[in-house]
Amino acid sequence: MTSIGKRPTQPRELARAVDRISFLYLERCVVNRDSNAITATDERGTVHIPASSVGVLLLGPGTTVTHQAITLMSDSGSTVVWVGEQGVRYYAHGVSPARSSRLAESQAEAVTNRRSRLRVARAMYEMRFPSEDVSELTMQQLRGREGARIRRVYRRQSERTGVPWSKRNYDTEDWEAGDPVNQALSAANSALYGVVHSVIVALGCSPALGFVHTGHHRSFVYDIADLYKAELTIPIAFDVAAETAMDVGGETRRLLRDAFYGGKLLARCAADIQRLLLSPAERDELPEDYLEFDVISLWDERGDDVQGGTSYGGAS
């Protein structure tokens, strides 16, 4: 006999993405379900975490996750990401809670037109250069300014903390081979990518359709994450390296978690994505609960979509 099971949770019943814990990293434990909480069990005991309070769950090496735990995370609208040691490699992610394609359509339309793609790319750089006019700069000029800016950021953080800096140097196959500041940067950026990825898919956008980055399945993730590195991941990485922490990855993630929460990164990231992909008029028209829409329409070449779930064959 086949069991029907309980009905799926409706979007309006879930905690909003912007109100959740940004990310939770687990490794070397068994992840299970207990009622509406996921549990993490290792030799030290079991911890319960309300599933609907987590934005993205990062599953590191040594984790075993049950079918029931994944079912609960999916039903709670939380993104599950499988990552490598210290969270520095991305492998896969779970289902998106988005019900609307509004932003995805705007993203696809903007990225496939050279003029609108350049407009969005300039807007991204404008966020990083608020005191400069970049409205007439080419992509080559923007890349040059960004490269110079990021070098200044590294130099200033090195001077502030006393941590020597030469260049960004890391091996994705051997995280331990890097010096402490490069290890911290890798751990910090990976956590940032996970959180940004979760917001992007929660809004229904494509992680692959980037405006500055291109050709990678996470191009848009890198675009958005770059907006926050100079403010968040780079200073924290240098702070961790300056303290000569024994657990570089763990300490970096803990400091980032606090910074993400204190700076309301989830809400800020969601707002920035909407600002980049929608005009002011479109943002004003977007209802606060648009992600709760679960309506399927049919495309019509005359311009207006028509209602789905309706027979248009007429009487035979």
Annotated binding residues for Mn(2+): 146, 213, 226
Q: Which residues contact 217 (CB under 8 A, 6 or more apart)?
A: 207, 208
Closest among 278, 283, 280, 271 to 120, alpha carbons compared: 278
Cite the annotated binding site by residue number: 146, 213, 226
Neighbours of 12 (CB within 10 A): 10
- Measured CA to CA, the distance from residue 73 to residue 104 in angstroms comes to 23
The amino acid sitting at 257 is: R
- Measured CA to CA, the distance from residue 195 to residue 198 in angstroms comes to 5
Report in angstroms the alpha-carbon separations of 169 from 45, 165, 172, 269.
38, 10, 10, 27
3-state class (DSSP) for residue 306? strand
Neighbours of 144 (CB within 10 A): 12
